[in-house]
Amino acid sequence: MVPGAVLQGRGVSPGRVAARAVSLAPALPEPDAETVVPPEGREAEVSTIEWAAVAVADQLRSRAERARGEARAILDASRLLASDPELVAEATALVRAQGRTAARAVWETSAAHEAALTALGGRMAERAADIRDVRDRMIAEILRVDMPGVPERDEPFVLVATDLAPADTAALEGGSCVALVTADGGPTSHTAIIARALGLPAVVGVAGATGIPEGAMVLVDGDHGSIHVDPDEAEIAEARAAAVVVTFDGRGRLADGTRVPLLANVGGASDAGSAAAAHAEGVGLFRTEFCFLDRTEAPSIEEQVEAYRGVLRAFPGRKVVVRTLDAGSDKPLPFANDDDEDNPALGVRGLRLSRRRPALLDDQLRALARAADAESADVEVMAPMVATVDEAADFAARCRAAGLDRAGIMIETPAAALLAAELFEVVDFVSLGTNDLAQYTLAADRLSSALADLNDPWQPAVLRLIGTVGAAGRAAGKPVGICGEAAGDPALAPVLVGLGATSLSMTPRALGRVAAALDVVGPDECRRAAEGASRAATAAEARQAAALVLGGGGAG
C-alpha cells in the first residue's frame, strides 16, 4: 500500500486520531476434518465440549462483570451463546454419531449457525461475528492453546481487523487502543455499538483494511469514514490536537446565551452514571431494549421498575426521555418478534409490536410510571417507529392511562416528518432519530458500507425533513429534540439548532466538543447555516454552505 493512500469505509463512531496500525491476531486454524474418534473415546470428547462451553461462559461472565452499559449487555449475549444447549447438543451429536473430534464438532456446528445468520442478511448477518468468537474460544479451550485477540501495547495504536468479536471490542476499555478499523461490519454491529460507548473513533466496511502494513501510521476519521495511510506531519498534528477531550461545563448555549440543553444517550444505569459524571444536562434517549435483551420471556414489571430506577436515580430533578421498547430489525426478541419477516427493517418493530403484543407496551408503561413515582427525575416517554397520527394518539392515551404525563414520539420515518404539525396536536414533544430517518428517506440500508454516502445526515432531503419538523415545533411551541448520531457532530450541531432543534442528545464524550461549537455562534448564524445547507443539492454542497456561514473549522 502506497504512503498517502486514502481508504474509505463507514464511520460508525466519531473522532479523528493518528497512531500506528496493529493487526488483530489471526483466527485459529480450521481443525482437521479427517480424524475419526473411535467409539470408546467419544464420550471423553463429549465431556470436553461440555467443559469448554462452561469455561468460555465463565470467561465471558467475568468480562461482562468488569464491563459497563451496552458493552456488558453484549458480553452477556455472547455468554449465553457459549452456553446455548442447542449448540452444545448439536456438537456432541456429531461426536457420538460420526466420530468428529471435539474441536471439529464445535467448528462444524458453529459454521451451520453462522451460515444461517448470514443468509438472513442485514443486521442479523452481523451477529455471525459473535458465533465465530464463541467458536474460537471453545476450540482454544479444547486444544489448550492461547486465544487470539487484541494485542497488548504500551503505546497508543489503531487496531485493524477483518472484524472484531464483542468480547475483544469490550476488552479495549482502559487499554492503549485509540481507534478501530475493520474490513467488515456495519453501524449496528457490536463493534460499532461498543466503540461508540467507549468513545473510540471507528470506521467499518473498509475495503483494503487488512492490507494496511503493520506499524504504519494511520489517521482514522470516524466522522467521515476515511483512513489516511502515512499522512503528512501536519495532518497528524491536527488529529492529535483534535483527540484532546473537551470538558463540558453542564450548560449548553449559543454565543448570545440562548439555551440549547445537551443531553446524553444511555442504555442502562452504568451509562447513566457515566453521563452524569460528564455533566450531561439530562438524558435525551434511554434505550430500554437493553433491559430486555437475552431473555426468552419479558421481564416482570418489578424487574423493569428496578432497571429504570437505576437510570432515573442518576439525574434527580432533571429530564430523562425514555424510549419504549424498540425491538425488531437488528434487535429481535424471541418473545416479541417473528423469525420469518422478509424485511424486518420495514416490519413489526418499535411501536408496531403493540399490534401483536399490546400487554408488552402496557406493562412497560406501568413500570415506567412506578419508577418515575419512586425517583425525582422529570420523566418523558416516547415511542419509536411512528408513521401515523392515529399511532401517536393511541400511544399518548396509553401513557396517560398508565400515569405518565409527558408523551412523545420518535420521528424516524418521512411520513412522521411530513405530518409533524398534526402530530404535535396529539403529543407533547418529538425527538428525531437521524440514523433511521436517513435510512428510510434515502431507501438505503444503513448497514451497507456501499451506501454510506446515502446514509448521511447532511443529505439535503434529510435536512429539509428536519426543518419541516422544526418549523412545526416552533409553530406549536413544543420541543424538538435530536438524539441520532448527527446530534454529536460539532459541525452539524449549529445547523440542527438552526433547523429548529431545541435540544441535542449524544454520547457523553461528544458533549464538550458540541458545546464548544455552539458557544461561538448565535441564533442568526445557526439559521443562515441551516438555510444554506437545506437549499443545497448535495451533501457535500450542504457542508460547504454551512461552513461559509459558520467558518471552515467546524464543517470539515
**Is the per-residue pLDDT at 539 higher than 80?**
yes
DSSP state of 208: T
Cell of 460: 439535503
Identity of the amino acid at 69: G
Q: What are phi and psi of 407, to 5 degrees?
A: -120, 135
Q: Among residues 177, 291, 399, 483, which one is catalytic?
A: 483
Q: How confident is the model at residue 267 (pLDDT cuts 50, 70, 90)?
A: confident
Question: For residues 310 and 370, what is the distance between their CA atoms, to the nearest angstrom?
Answer: 13
Question: Does residue 354 or residue 79 have the better pLDDT?
Answer: 354
What's the mean pLDDT in 449-457?
A: 76
**Is the per-residue pLDDT at 42 higher than 60?**
yes
Between the CA of residue 232 and those of 6, 43, 218, 235, 472, what are the distances in Å?
Answer: 12, 60, 10, 6, 47
Question: For residues 134 and 83, what is the distance between their CA atoms, to the nearest angstrom?
Answer: 10
> In this structure, is the dihedral angle defined by the CA atoms of residues 168, 290, 453 and 450, taken in order, positive or negative?
positive
**Is the per-residue pLDDT at 472 higher than 50?**
yes
pLDDT digits (tens, 9 = 90+) for 497-536: 999 999 999 988 889 989 999 999 999 999 999 999 999 9
Least confident among 324-338, 457-471, 504-518, 523-537: 324-338
Q: What local confidence, expressed as pLDDT, does residue 190 receive?
A: 67
Question: Does residue 333 or residue 290 have the better pLDDT?
Answer: 290
Q: What local confidence, expressed as pLDDT, does residue 556 receive?
A: 36
| Cell 442447542, residue located | 86
Q: What local confidence, expressed as pLDDT, does residue 85 receive?
A: 84
Active site residue 224: no
Burial class (CB in 10 A: 0-12, 13-18, 19+), 118: middle
Q: What local confidence, expressed as pLDDT, does residue 555 receive?
A: 37
- In the CATH scheme, what is the code of domain 262-521? 3.20.20.60
Least confident among 7-11, 359-363, 409-413, 496-500: 7-11
Domain boundaries, the chain: 6-25+149-242, 39-143, 262-521
Q: Which residues pair with 394 in a beta bridge?
A: none
**Is the per-residue pLDDT at 239 higher than 90?**
no
- State how far Cα 157 lies from the chain centre: 23
What's the mean pLDDT in 149-171?
A: 79
Query: Could you say which of 3.30.460.80, 1.10.274.10, 3.50.50.60, 3.40.309.10 is the CATH number of the domain covering 39-143?
Result: 1.10.274.10
Cell of 225: 469514514
Between the CA of residue 303 and those of 207, 404, 506, what are the distances in Å?
Answer: 44, 19, 27
Q: Which residues pair with 320 in a beta bridge?
A: 283, 379
- Strand spans (E) along 9-50: 10-13, 16-23
Does the structural domain 6-25+149-242 have CATH classification 3.40.50.300? no
Write out the DSSP string of 186-204: -TTSHHHHHHHHHT--EEE
What's the mean pLDDT in 338-344?
A: 68
Question: For residues 329 and 293, what is the distance between their CA atoms, to the nearest angstrom?
Answer: 13
Q: What local confidence, expressed as pLDDT, does residue 86 receive?
A: 86
CB 195 within 8 A of CB 217: no
User: How do 226-229 and 6-8 pair as beta strands?
Assistant: antiparallel
**Is the per-residue pLDDT at 422 higher than 70?**
yes
What's the mean pLDDT in 177-201?
A: 80
Write out the DSSP string of 230-245: S--HHHHHHHHHHTSP
Cβ atoms within 10 Å of 520's Cβ, excluding its own = 14
| Cell 471439529, residue located | 104
Question: Does residue 350 or residue 365 have the better pLDDT?
Answer: 365
Identify the top-confidence range among 22-26, 165-169, 363-367: 363-367
Active site residue 190: yes
Nearest to 469 by CA among 425, 428, 431, 417: 417
pLDDT digits (tens, 9 = 90+) for 87-134: 899 999 999 999 999 999 999 999 988 888 777 776 666 677 778 888
Q: Estimate the crossing angle of helix 102-120 against helix 85-98, to 10 degrees.
A: 130
User: How do 283-287 and 319-323 pair as beta strands?
Assistant: parallel
| Cell 506499524, residue located | 215
Radius of gyration of the chain (CA): 24
Nearest to 430 by CA among 442, 419, 446: 419
* Kind plus residue range of the DSSP H or E element containing 510: none
DSSP state of 253: B
Long-range contact list for 110-113, CB < 8 A, 24+ apart?
Answer: 110/134, 110/135, 113/87
Q: Among residues 177, 190, 228, 399, which one is catalytic?
A: 190
Q: What local confidence, expressed as pLDDT, does residue 255 receive?
A: 97
Q: What local confidence, expressed as pLDDT, does residue 70 receive?
A: 63
**Is the per-residue pLDDT at 49 higher than 70?**
yes
Chain mean pLDDT for the chain = 87
Q: What local confidence, expressed as pLDDT, does residue 349 receive?
A: 83
Q: What local confidence, expressed as pLDDT, does residue 553 receive?
A: 42
Question: For residues 336 and 338, what is the distance between their CA atoms, to the nearest angstrom?
Answer: 7
The answer for residues whose C-beta is within 8 angstroms of residue 358's C-beta and 6 or more apart is none
